Structure 1
């Protein structure tokens, strides 16, 4: 069943995501009922992923050419808070420690709304900033951008200041994301028909923040001009917006089949430690391991 649900990803660009799941009481009171209800409607994690994928493909072929989500429905992913015991039942993958277990009474559950309207607007702005002129108008006509801005304004007016719970990356995972995790963190390997469909890794947000702050402090002293320092600083500021009892999830997506088992979290940590100790040889070796693993993936973005 899982294989059928994920089959639609074949042939699409590799897409990976970093998500933050918060307890229900971290959301505004007037949103809590809708978020809880949407989470309860999610039959399984695979079903949520499939529904989101089919919706995105549907928008591309929508009559009128408007590629933006309307916001009429918003999917919600659900996971369990770390340390909350639950019986092992009905997992979609082969991982032994997955915290993704649902509870009939909702106790200990954490929620991550998709927020597609806001995220689509941010993605469109980033795209337009990178290209100008006729090509920008061809890809996303100004009329469509203006129409979607009205949707964003409606969401902001309804929800107030909104934390965006999801970050996405295509054709590879930013090295900064790996600083949030250790190889010992709980993970779930989702497989079907001899192929790894995705790997998901989790960490309590308190642990993730400790790790990224450690990385920032060491790089600020040892390599202040490194581009990764800016990425880590932005990552820290983003995580600091969320509830202290939240959890962070790295979802590899289909790229997992190319890189798993993956030592990237260890290589990033060792590279930073080596820089802090002045061991340039060790830092260079860690980077070479990362580069040999991820540069071929990123090159696929330009392959014909």
Structure 2
């Protein structure tokens, strides 16, 4: 199954995701039963990833020209809740292989956390951003107004059923925003998923409390040392997003296929060291940290413009 995922991504843009997993009680009552059923019926994480990839490829080849998801089979990712922090430090998550079922890795008493894909809402947001960007005129040709109006009806239906939903997933193509690395440390629980001699993805997780503490630290130091840095605005928006979710949630950074190009990856450490150096007025140290980041990620971003 995992090999199919990797081969299916060949030729596609590298896509990474930042996801929030919440406990069941954080969701509206009408949605809880469907989430519970989806989690119970999920065979493996690899099956979810493969189904999402196949569905996305199917949408762009529809004969009616509608590229939007219908929402009839929204996918759900499930993980066991992290152990509570103790004086000895946080216990790692149970090990997760590409083929393991999400419930199988957890003891029966463990709680589960859920991350719905929310493809209808996310597709609508992505289309709006595309229309408002520099490629707006081209996007209007590729996505006819009739299809956009039809999808807006789907969005209205989802919101009527589930209320105003928090968007649980942020996606990035051709590289990971440096601001995302502020949420994690190299000691956080990490799953490296491999297949046929390649790294399919790397997933690193932290509790939302840890993530908020780390991003607040970064914002405070950058606000004093480098208030004009674009990254400060990114971190402020990231903080506002994290604060929307249940305090018992977990945050996951899923590298996607780009992991095979960059892992082992010291980016969380380099971002943290860069911010600490800026706060201490050590411009040489900050520049060295940035050079390490740039040498790792600039070649990835340049691939977006390669023919």
Shift of residue 208, structure 1, vs aligned partner: 0.4
Choose from 89, 92, 95 the match for 2:98: 92
Shift of residue 143, structure 1, vs aligned partner: 1.1
- CA RMSD in angstroms comes to 2.1
Which residue of structure 1 aligns with residue 186 of structure 2? 183
TM-score with structure 1 setting the length: 0.94
Does residue 209 of structure 2 align to residue 206 of structure 1? yes
Deviations 1:223-281 (A, max 9, x none): 11000000000000000000000000000000000000000000000000011111111
Which residue of structure 2 aligns with residue 15 of structure 1? 15
Deviations 1:34-90 (A, max 9, x none): 011111221100000000000000000011100000111110000011117899687
Is 1:202–1:247's contact at 8 Å kept on the other side of the alignment?
Answer: yes
Query: Is the alpha carbon distance of 1:118 and 1:29 closer, same or farther for their aligned partners in structure 2, counting shifts above 3 Å?
Result: same
Q: How many Å separate the matches in 1 of 2:135 and 2:32?
A: 40
Q: How many Å separate the matches in 1 of 2:74 and 2:167?
A: 13
Q: How many Å separate the matches in 1 of 2:129 and 2:7?
A: 29
- 1:136-175 equivalences under 5 Å are 136-175=139-178
Q: How many Å separate the matches in 2 of 1:3 and 1:13?
A: 17
Q: How many Å separate the matches in 1 of 2:93 and 2:192?
A: 19
- 1:258-269 equivalences under 5 Å are 258-269=261-272
Return structure 1 stretches of 4+ with deviation > 4 angstroms: 84-90, 99-106
Is 2:16–2:176's contact at 8 Å kept on the other side of the alignment?
Answer: yes
Deviations 1:181-235 (A, max 9, x none): 0000000000111101100000000000000010001101111100000000000
Is 1:78–1:102's contact at 8 Å kept on the other side of the alignment?
Answer: no
Does residue 233 of structure 2 align to residue 227 of structure 1? no
Which residue of structure 1 aligns with residue 3 of structure 2? 3
Is 2:186–2:269's contact at 8 Å kept on the other side of the alignment?
Answer: yes
Shift of residue 108, structure 1, vs aligned partner: 1.0
Is 1:77–1:112's contact at 8 Å kept on the other side of the alignment?
Answer: yes
Choose from 105, 126, 130 the match for 1:127: 130
Deviations 1:129-173 (A, max 9, x none): 113664232121111111111111111111112100000000000
Shift of residue 105, structure 1, vs aligned partner: 5.1
Q: How many Å separate the matches in 2 of 1:100 and 1:221?
A: 45
Is 2:93–2:189's contact at 8 Å kept on the other side of the alignment?
Answer: no
Q: How many Å separate the matches in 1 of 2:174 and 2:248?
A: 31
Is 1:16–1:252's contact at 8 Å kept on the other side of the alignment?
Answer: yes
Q: How many Å separate the matches in 2 of 1:202 and 1:266?
A: 15
TM-score with structure 2 setting the length: 0.93
Q: How many Å separate the matches in 1 of 2:217 and 2:204?
A: 20
Query: Is the alpha carbon distance of 1:221 and 1:244 closer, same or farther for their aligned partners in structure 2, counting shifts above 3 Å?
Result: same
Shift of residue 103, structure 1, vs aligned partner: 4.8
List runs of 5+ in structure 1 lacking aligned partners: none
Shift of residue 101, structure 1, vs aligned partner: 5.1
Q: How many Å separate the matches in 2 of 1:75 and 1:106?
A: 24
Choose from 244, 248, 252 the match for 1:245: 248
Which residue of structure 1 aligns with residue 76 of structure 2? 76
Shift of residue 106, structure 1, vs aligned partner: 7.3
Which residue of structure 1 aligns with residue 59 of structure 2? 59
Does residue 291 of structure 2 align to residue 288 of structure 1? yes
